[in-house]
Structure 1
Amino acid sequence: MPKELNDNICEDAIFERIYKKYAKDLYNFLYYKYGEQYNPSDKTQEAFIKLWNNCRKVPFNKAKAFLFTVANNMTLNDIKHHKIVLKYHLEKPELYTNESPEFILEQEEFLQQYQKVLEKLSEEQRVAFLLNKAEGKKHSEIAELLGVTQKVVEYRIYSAFNILKKELKGFKIK
C-alpha cells in the first residue's frame, strides 16, 4: 500500500502539504469557472476549513476531490442565492390599486359602521360572533372555550348576525 493512503490529514504537516499543493489550483479553478464576483479566495479558504473540520472522515487520497467538490458546491449555492435576491429586487410591489377613491371611502365608512355596531352587541354576542366569523372557530370549539352549550353559542351568533343585518345596509357573511 502506498504511504500516502495511510497519511492522516489531521496532522499539521500533512494538512499544510495539502494546502500548499492544492490552494492555488483550487483558487484558479474557481476564478476561471465563476469569476472574481463570487470570491474564489474566500471559497478556497472555506473549503480548507471544511476539510480540516472533516479531516478524520476524509482520506488523504480523496482530499483534492473533497476540496474541489466543496468549493464548487459553495459557489453554486452562492450563485443560486444571488439569483433569488435579484429576483426579489426586480419584483416591485404595486403602489396603486384599481379601486376608485369612492370605493375606498365607502369601504372605510362601512368598516367604521361595522365596528360601531359590534360595540353595540352584548359582550357574549360579540365574542361568540367574532370567534366564529373572524377566527373561523366551530360552534363546538367556542362552546368549550366559553363554558356554555353549543345551542347557546348558536343563539348568540344568530342574534348578533340579525342585529348586524338590521343595522348595516348590505351586510352579508359567507
Structure 2
Amino acid sequence: MEKNLNDSICKEAVFERIYNKYSKDLYAYLYYKYGEQFNPNDKTQDAFVKLWSNCKKVTLSKAKSFLYTVANNMMLNEIKHQKVVLKHQQTQPKDYTYETPEFILEKEQFLERYNKVLARLNEEQRVAFLLNKTEGKKHSEIAEMLGVTQKVVEYRIYSAFNILKKELKGFKIK
C-alpha cells in the first residue's frame, strides 16, 4: 500500500484500503486505552470521516499517524466533556432565595386566606372561577362542560372575582 506515495487518499480505492488496514487496530487501541464508555467505535468512525474531509492535506505516509492522533484527541475531548458534566451534576443548586422572611410569611398567609375565601364560594362560582383562572379554559368551553350558557359562566366568574376582591385586600388577577 505504501509503495506508491503518489496515491491520493481522496481516491475511494485508496481510502478503502486505508480503512480496511487501520480501522480494527484503531478501534482496539481506543478500546483498550479508554474503555467502552467513551464509544471507541464512534471515535474510530469519526477519525476516518475527518481523514476523508482532510484527504488533500494528508499524505498517504502520514495517514496512520493522522488517524491515531485525531482519534486520541477525540477521546481526550470526550473525557474532558464528561468531567465537566460530572462536575455540573455534583453542583448543588442553591437552597436560598432573595425573598425576605416577612415576604414569605405574607405570601403563605395570603394563600391561606385565599383558600379559605375560595372554600366559602358556592360550588358553581368556585368551579367556573377555577376552570377559567387555573386551567385557562375559555368561557365557552366552561359553558359547554357545565351545560349552561356562556352568560351564566361569565356571571359566576365575575361574582366569584368580586367576592375575592372584597375579602382579600390587594387581590388582582390577570
TM-score (norm 2): 0.60
Q: Partners in 1 of 2:138 and 2:166 — Cα distance?
A: 24
Q: CA deviation at 1:86?
A: 3.4
How does 1:10-89 map onto structure 2 within 5 Å?
Answer: 23-28=24-29, 30=30, 36=33, 38-39=34-35, 43=39, 47=41, 68-69=44-45, 82=82, 85-86=85-86, 88-89=88-89
Q: Distance in 1 between matches of 2:172 and 2:38?
A: 61
What pairs up with 1:96-115 in 2 under 5 angstroms?
96-115=96-115
Q: Is the 8 A contact 2:140 2:150 kept in 1?
A: yes
State the match for 2:142 in structure 1.
142
Partners of 1:156 and 1:87 in 2: CA distance: 54
Q: CA deviation at 1:144?
A: 1.1
Relative to structure 1, the CA distance from residue 102 to residue 75 in structure 2 (aligned partners, 3 Å threshold; closer, same or farther) is: same
CA RMSD across the alignment: 3.6
Q: CA deviation at 1:39?
A: 1.4
One-letter amino acid of the structure 1 residue matched with residue 44 of structure 2: F
The answer to whether the 8 A contact 1:27-1:41 is kept is no
Match of 2:7 in 1: none
Aligned length: 130
List gaps (5 residues or longer) in structure 1: 1-17, 48-65
Distance 1:100 1:162 in 2: 30
Query: Structure 1 residues 42 and 107, CA, compared in 2 at 3 Å: closer, same or farther?
Result: closer
Measured against aligned partners, the alpha-carbon deviations of 1:101-125 in whole angstroms (never above 9, x if no partner) come to: 0110011000000000000001110
Provide the C-alpha distance between the structure 1 equivalents of 2:94 and 2:38, rounded to a whole number of angstroms: 38
Is this contact kept in 1: 2:43–2:75, CA < 8 A? no
5+ long unaligned stretches in structure 2: 1-19, 48-70
After TM superposition, the score normalised by the length of structure 1 is: 0.60
- Matches of 2:38 and 2:152, distance apart in 1: 68
Amino acid corresponding to residue 115 of structure 2 in structure 1: Q
